[in-house]
Structure 1
């Protein structure tokens, strides 16, 4: 800049503190297993309290977790959230900054780097436009706090256009002050309004919506589901009903554990794209079943099969729900249809074996269990089901073999342990 005769103005970068969680958190080195287990228990309990809006109780547990490991960025972010909720804004800002500084994938400027910007500008005798200060002053006037978040940012560092307008005016004022620019005699409030109008008229609402949709995809990909949801909803406002956005909202809702919300968004997808896309009713059925809404799920499975009957997974999922209802004959028909489509479909063999065993058709059940183990010898449930049937038939050696395998493959399965102990006890008599 100096060699070309240009004058330099530094801008202090601003970051989204309040509404953008760390990109990656890691525990401190040397944290032992016992300490990690204690930390995880405190964090889990505190998070549950936070989700119940019991912020003061959550804060106590979060701070206990900090005493064990103070390097986990997400922990500081959550402390910032609860402090903000109880109105301790200065302390919240400090916690949010600690979260930024501990982020091991630092895509925002660190507090130490902001100090470097100040030092370099001062050392060079160059002006520094303090963008964070401009936004904080505006936030205090508008929201009565100075913790920067989605009110001014679209992502981690990029602001809304109004915030860039503030920055542009501040830069222009600095240029006038340094006699780099000279405003004309007509410059004033009306001229600013005219410029605003000209700039805004050149912006495309549709292009903004597409950009927001793409940003939401990035957040979704990064597993930042809260942030993704916020951006996707803005994209919907710009673009109107959009099946791709509703699909993404379904995914982000599931990632946040908001399954009823996911069901709502998936229904919007179905309303917009019917009848062209397979698997939508299947996905909806699985979500409904996960929420215990089995009758609705069965209806969606039937609708998927009406449109796309040659899907063995849908046939099997429907059969499993029907078997749970006790509608064994229809369930068996769907299991058989699945196996006709995919003879080596492990899940269909396994669940049909369970149904047949319940009907006391043990030899047929064992035959399907053997098919499962032919396909996947390390399937613990197949070993368990076979072991239980053989134990009840008095075939203890075979039963012990299968139950031992079930317990080995899935050591935390109490049913495998219990049945193995019973088989061993019966053999010793």
Structure 2
């Protein structure tokens, strides 16, 4: 009891002198809480001091500003979250924050509203909360938070943090809020954190997506324990945001995130879990209940989860509401619209440009629902006007103001970039329409044209792919990377002469410093082989082999070319080199057997054909080779 009174006395004393005061609701799990600030101070030509997005943050955030001193009769609104809040694939101008900024003067003309877009590209809840800590120092009235889509993007470990009891977690959080704890924490020297690997609990000052280090989502594997801790951490940070808002005497409005369900499959589905295809079949059959369940399972069971799992949305949906905490169920509201417009409530490309980013119209609708929620909560002035009561000319003015700010070229480039990302991720069904958008908006675009053609190829629509490639070659004959892609398709179609014509140009046009140059040169050699031009193939492959002497694909093709020009000795050495690493490669045994046959070395040929038969008993080339060996042996008797 004496100890408790002593601590209380210390806390009251620190309160009286203003020590240890902070809105910092530090996340004890993460090492980046004191990250590089989002805001920097500057003074304009009139001597007025502003806070604006720091220059080194403009890669991830919109360029925004607000006055350091909040003017009288002003409501300061900070919109936080990931790339949806940012406005991707565009920017703030067409985001729900941008729309809010335009609606509010018409809705509540007697109040000045400052809407600051603090959405960070690829920001997960723990980074959003850190940004919120910083913004809490600048007299916020309302935080609007759209989060949940990026929780699995970065590697991090949790050690045994979540092994603590709820009582321990509560005590840790409570102590962190006391002035006594913060004063002691500020006085204790901090040890330099040890160097750590990529799975360290301490994250980089900015987002370091796992996908940046891999070709597609290959880095992701099923890890239920880690995923469960990610879920716990998400819930922890949502509660933490509520605490930060309350400490700043601000309101907070959470948005339940929504995703594209029916027009974007899992980024890495488990081979045995074909939920998405089951959902497509059910949707086409009109069985929407089964389709909805299957599409939801496809998202929830995605090994590379780049969309918010259903339980994240449900957790936000079920947050206890109060005078200063509200929830807008964007997903459910959008489903209602979809039901009215299309007769089903399964969300797809009608509302999303890719897997998660809403269309401009969906952002517009979200902004209107946010205003209705703010009015219902009593967070706007009593005299504010309902959106439904706005005169048509006011609505037209808002729409024109937003759409007039759209830079058509920037919009086209945004569509191209989105197509590139989705193509890279293997989401060709999503990339293709975005590439078409870019071509339309930019009135023709080389990179988008060839991305579209390549997407159609991977989607199995080969005839359409050839048409788009041909259109690209005619319109952009100097876009060498596109020529290389078309040449690759023609190789697959065994149109070797046409492939050679394209790949010769691509090889000359793509500089040797570009890895595509050597890929193009290798493909040209394969086209020469297919056309039985062994001399040209051999010449190209010698260059490729000199560039990449350990590339066994090149070694194998060089062996074929060597055999084709009659250099059997070189071919044998090259094939045997492959067998040193891959002794069970059937094709190499067969090719080597035929080289020995050409030298009339039937015993050595027989050895390789027999090995091929042991490895592949039904292989027709192996059987045919043994037949030829048998015939030659009989004729020699």
Q: Provide the TM-score with structure 2 as the length reference.
A: 0.50
Residue 260 (structure 1) aligned with residue 463 (structure 2)? yes
Task: Identify, as 1 or 2, the structure richer in helix.
Answer: 1
Alignment of 1:242-281 (within 5 A): 242-275=445-478, 278=480, 281=483
C-alpha separation in 2, matches of 1:138 and 1:214: 29
C-alpha separation in 1, matches of 2:301 and 2:441: 35
Give the secondary-structure state (helix, strand or coil) at the position aligned to 1:127: strand
1:77-134 C-alpha deviation (Å, 9 max, x unpaired): 1111111101112221111111111122222222222221122134788432221222
Residue 7 (structure 1) aligned with residue 206 (structure 2)? no
C-alpha separation in 2, matches of 1:135 and 1:342: 54
Alignment of 1:37-48 (within 5 A): none
Partner of 2:593: 387
Tell me by how many angstroms 1:153 deviates.
Answer: 0.7
1:201-224 C-alpha deviation (Å, 9 max, x unpaired): 112222222222212222112111
Partner of 1:284: 486
Task: Identify, as 1 or 2, the structure richer in strand.
Answer: 2
Partner of 2:301: 102
Gaps of 5+ in 2: 1-244, 511-517, 547-553
Contact 1:100 1:110 in 2 (8 A): yes
2:603 to 397, 401, 404: 397
Over 3 Å counting, the alpha-carbon distance change for 1:220 and 1:426 in structure 2 is: same
Contact 2:522 2:544 in 1 (8 A): no
Over 3 Å counting, the alpha-carbon distance change for 1:180 and 1:112 in structure 2 is: same
Residue 366 (structure 1) aligned with residue 565 (structure 2)? no
Over 3 Å counting, the alpha-carbon distance change for 1:12 and 1:426 in structure 2 is: same
Contact 2:563 2:595 in 1 (8 A): no
Partner of 2:131: none
Q: Provide the TM-score with structure 1 as the length reference.
A: 0.71
1:309-344 C-alpha deviation (Å, 9 max, x unpaired): x99757644543444xxxxxxx35645655786797
Give the secondary-structure state (helix, strand or coil) at the position aligned to 1:216: helix
Partner of 1:44: none
State the Cα RMSD in Å: 3.8
Over 3 Å counting, the alpha-carbon distance change for 1:347 and 1:304 in structure 2 is: farther
Over 3 Å counting, the alpha-carbon distance change for 1:411 and 1:284 in structure 2 is: farther
1:25 to 269, 275, 278: 269
Partner of 2:349: 150
1:223-244 C-alpha deviation (Å, 9 max, x unpaired): 1111111222222222221111
Contact 1:386 1:399 in 2 (8 A): yes
Over 3 Å counting, the alpha-carbon distance change for 1:190 and 1:290 in structure 2 is: same
Gaps of 5+ in 1: 28-68, 324-330, 357-363
Partner of 2:66: none
Tell me by how many angstroms 1:8 deviates.
Answer: 2.7
Alignment of 1:312-323 (within 5 A): 313=522, 316-323=525-532
Residue 82 (structure 1) aligned with residue 263 (structure 2)? no
User: Relative contact order (C-alpha < 8 Å, sep 6+): which is higher?
Assistant: 2
Tell me by how many angstroms 1:414 deviates.
Answer: 4.0
C-alpha separation in 1, matches of 2:324 and 2:354: 32
Tell me by how many angstroms 1:19 deviates.
Answer: 0.9
C-alpha separation in 2, matches of 1:170 and 1:314: 54
Tell me by how many angstroms 1:421 deviates.
Answer: 7.5
Residue 91 (structure 1) aligned with residue 287 (structure 2)? no
C-alpha separation in 2, matches of 1:114 and 1:338: 56
C-alpha separation in 1, matches of 2:316 and 2:542: 69
Contact 1:134 1:166 in 2 (8 A): no
Over 3 Å counting, the alpha-carbon distance change for 1:184 and 1:254 in structure 2 is: same
C-alpha separation in 2, matches of 1:305 and 1:210: 27
Partner of 1:240: 443
Partner of 1:226: 429
Partner of 1:170: 369
C-alpha separation in 1, matches of 2:380 and 2:613: 79
1:157-181 C-alpha deviation (Å, 9 max, x unpaired): 2211111111111111222233321
Give the secondary-structure state (helix, strand or coil) at the position aligned to 1:2: helix
C-alpha separation in 2, matches of 1:116 and 1:299: 58
C-alpha separation in 1, matches of 2:545 and 2:306: 50
Q: Which ranges of 4 or more aligned residues in structure 1 deviate by more than 6 Å?
A: 301-308, 339-345, 408-412, 424-429
